[in-house]
Amino acid sequence: MGKAELGGPRRATSLVMAAIALAIGIFAARANAAVAAETGFVLNTFSFLIWGALVMWMCAGFTMLEAGSVRTKNASVICLKNIGLYSIAGLAYYLIGYNLMYVDVGSLLGTITPFYGSTPDEIALLNADEAAAADAAAKVVEAGSYATMSDWFFQMVFVATAASIVSGTLAERVRLWSFFAFVLVLTAVIYPIVGAWTWGGGWLKQMGFKDFAGSTIVHSTGGWAALAGVLVVGARLGKFRRDGTVKTTPPSNVPAVTLGVFILWLGWFGFNGGSQLALAGALDAVAMSNVLVNTNLAAGAGVMAAMSVSRPLLGRVDLLAVLNGAIAGLVSITAGPDVVDHYWAIVIGAVGGVVCTAGIKAMETLKLDDVVGAIPAHLFAGVWGTLAVCIASGGDIFTQLVGVLAVGAFVFSASWLVWKAIDMMFGARISHTAEEMGQDVSELGIEAYPEFVVVPDQDDIDELRALDEER
């Protein structure tokens, strides 16, 4: 082929290369420029809604974990409790809780103003005609970086998580409506006050307290409330025998428990990732990526650590302890998942798994009955995770300790008083007969697995006979 013949293809190639170079230059310029305000508004809002929906899915995880952990005669009540607590949490947080937590917060709490809704500018945008829509949208974007109710939705699903912790701990013996009464107070008042002190800008936030996604604010709050409930309601019949030994209560449905933990693990990506609270630029995208990776690493480390120490601490490779190790790793990293050096996430998660497994043993030694191991996984690991922020996320040890102790003292005291009041007014615990029959039959008149033949537990029969003789 001669030079004249090569001229056409060369010119075409040059034009293509020039077009590619131009496209790369335009793309690079756009990448380096800030995201347009309205685009950032849309991305932030969408992030809140998607991550919030993923956190809501954690309710399904808690349901599976709890329903599989209890005896089959109590599985239906667990399902009702979990869908009920999510509904109560949403309504209570809408009517009262969010306002106490975020609206005009001083040092202690926000305004006690019921209801919460879109801003006047957002309402004007929704009602604007086509000609006025652009100006109305510009006012909304100028006033804020996300839709008002998208933030409310994301914050609401967190409070439901705190309530779920209490549900698992007190399973198989707490009255259904007494539990719902406590959830109402927890989600409308107790949790929002803790939130106002911290995320709402109150006194702990002003001190510099760090809790990225809620190791203390969400998980320890739920754990302290559960611990108060355990002390008021007491242990299940026969859990701690008269000779001082502990009766083992293995999960009734191991696949369901495992599925529940995997669902929680998945939902935690929304829990921690969404707590970046923005997705409007490269900085947010990189930070969120690190958060998700650290979340995953900590959970895996929690599993392996719990598996390693369960035999020396519990006398066996305990499946429930291993599954709780994953949750403990997740809880532990939640206070500081934005740490840049990923190996710290592994260390923090692994320590969380050990803390949780040791906590399970300690709970048995103290004869405190926690059906799903929620107190070790959420309270003990939550305290550790909050203090671990000092290692690699810039937390001050004094401030972190003050936060842990203040939240613990308030939540435990308030929860204990509420549980005692409920116990005096309605009774916090079901009767011995109802406990032996199972809550499914005694409170709902339905069985989760009606085709199964329930064989009475001899230990439970002996315990009931002993109680009858004492009377």
CB contact at 8 A, 457 and 238: yes
Q: What span, in angstroms and rounded, lies between the C-alpha atoms of 267 and 52? A: 9
Cβ atoms of 43 and 276 within 8 Å: the answer is no
The torsion region of residue 115 among left (phi > 0), alpha (psi -120 to 50) and beta comes to left
pLDDT digits (tens, 9 = 90+) for 270-307: 999 999 999 989 999 999 999 999 999 999 999 999 99
Tell me: pLDDT of 36 over 90.
no
pLDDT tens per residue, range 220-241? 999 999 999 999 999 999 888 8
Instruction: Give per-residue pLDDT as tens, 116-149.
Output: 889 999 999 999 888 888 888 899 898 889 999 9
Q: Rounded to whole angstroms, how far apart are CA atoms 274 and 234?
A: 37
The pLDDT of residue 295 is 97
At 251, list the tokens. 């999960």
**Backbone conformation region of residue 201, classed left if phi is above 0, alpha if psi is from -120 to 50, else beta:** left
All structural domains of the chain, each given as residue ranges with its CATH number in brackets, are 37-268+397-444 (1.10.3430.10)
Amino acid at 351: V
Structure tokens belonging to residue 36: 């347009």
Q: Which helix (H) or strand (E) holds 157?
A: helix 148-169
447's tokens: 């069985």
**Range from 61-70, 102-111, 155-164, 460-469 carrying the lowest mean pLDDT:** 460-469
**pTM tops 0.85:** yes
pLDDT in tens, 324-382: 999 999 999 999 999 989 999 999 999 999 999 999 999 999 999 999 999 999 999 99
Q: pLDDT value at position 106?
A: 85
pLDDT at 156 exceeding the cut of 80: yes
pLDDT in tens, 52-108: 999 999 999 999 999 999 999 999 999 999 999 999 999 999 999 999 999 988 888
Q: Nearest 5°: CA angle at 441, between 436 and 447?
A: 115
